[in-house]
Amino acid sequence: MQTLRNKVTIITGASRGIGYATAQLFEENGARLVLTAKENLDALDVFTSAEKVRLDLTSEDTIDYLVKKTIKNFGCIDIFINNAGVFTHKDFELITAKELTEMIDIGLKGPFMLLQKIVGQMKQQKKGKIVNVSSLSGRIGSSGATHYAAVKAGIIALTKSLARSYGKHNIVVNSIAPSLIETDMLKHITKERLKNLIESIPLKRLGRPEEVAMAILFLASDTSDYITGQTLCIDGGLSML
């Protein structure tokens, strides 16, 4: 069964990791894809029927182009997966103003501006599904990446705010909070620290991008129509109460 048959879907950061696995799963499920990368556009060539767009979340021009191009080619946006992001690991007192600004620009300001344009289109359509990729650190904090955690907490607040504001337009907005998923992002964590972190996970292993993609599929599909404003943790049990 193709759960997302003909659904026009934008996935940001689809060249690697979680975004790539999500694009694969969505393609298998019949979605019509618009995929973005910042540098690695070649990695998107495997998605033969997808539209490929260069997006840099620090550039308003590329944000604007992505939305205009999608509407021009497909006439609507059914699903938006707000996935692209960056991570750095640094002590709180050593983070410079430049590094903080960069984290906020890529992780919060860019997605915020993209969401403004996408929500405007979904409002006209009187429907839409949005999945924001936050992080467990946005819920429980992170001692080694405070700037990242602060930005990801912002994404959760943005999710709830949009869910409250746009429910009446039949737009549902949820976020996911993964933790320690096997992607390039983990290269920023030392082997020793990673080993200790894995010990603290009840399932005693890292998560796989495909496992995150399954949760995104659930939140993007009609199966979850009455769920909005929620944050689903995908963390091997790390954050359970």
Q: What is the set of active-site residues?
A: 148
Q: Which of 7, 9, 15, 153 binds ligand NAP (CB under 6 A)?
A: 15
How does DSSP assign 60-71, residue by residue?
A: HHHHHHHHHHHH
CB of 90 to ligand NAP, least distance (A): 15
Which residue has the closest beta carbon to ligand NAP? Answer: 17
Instruction: Give the tokens for residue 43.
Output: 């990695």
Nearer to ligand NAP, 13 or 128 (CB): 13
154 binds ligand NAP (CB under 6 A): no
Looking at the chain, the number of H-run helices and the number of E-run strands are: 8, 7
Give the number of other Cβ atoms within 10 Å of residue 122's Cβ. Answer: 25
16 binds ligand NAP (CB under 6 A): yes
236 binds ligand NAP (CB under 6 A): no
53 binds ligand NAP (CB under 6 A): no
Alpha-carbon span 224 to 42, nearest angstrom = 33
How does DSSP assign 117-146, residue by residue?
A: HHHHHHHHHT-EEEEEE--THHHH--SSBH
Q: Which of 52, 56, 90, 231 binds ligand NAP (CB under 6 A)?
A: 56
Residue 175 host element (H or E): strand 171-178
Alpha-carbon span 167 to 185, nearest angstrom = 33
Q: Which of 128, 154, 178, 236 binds ligand NAP (CB under 6 A)?
A: 178
Give the number of other Cβ atoms within 10 Å of residue 12's Cβ. Answer: 26
Instruction: Give the tokens for residue 26.
Output: 């969505």
57 binds ligand NAP (CB under 6 A): yes
Nearer to ligand NAP, 6 or 203 (CB): 203
Q: Which of 7, 32, 38, 147 binds ligand NAP (CB under 6 A)?
A: 38
Which residues form the interface with ligand NAP (CB under 6 A)? 12-13, 15-19, 37-40, 55-58, 83-87, 106, 133, 135, 178-181, 183-186
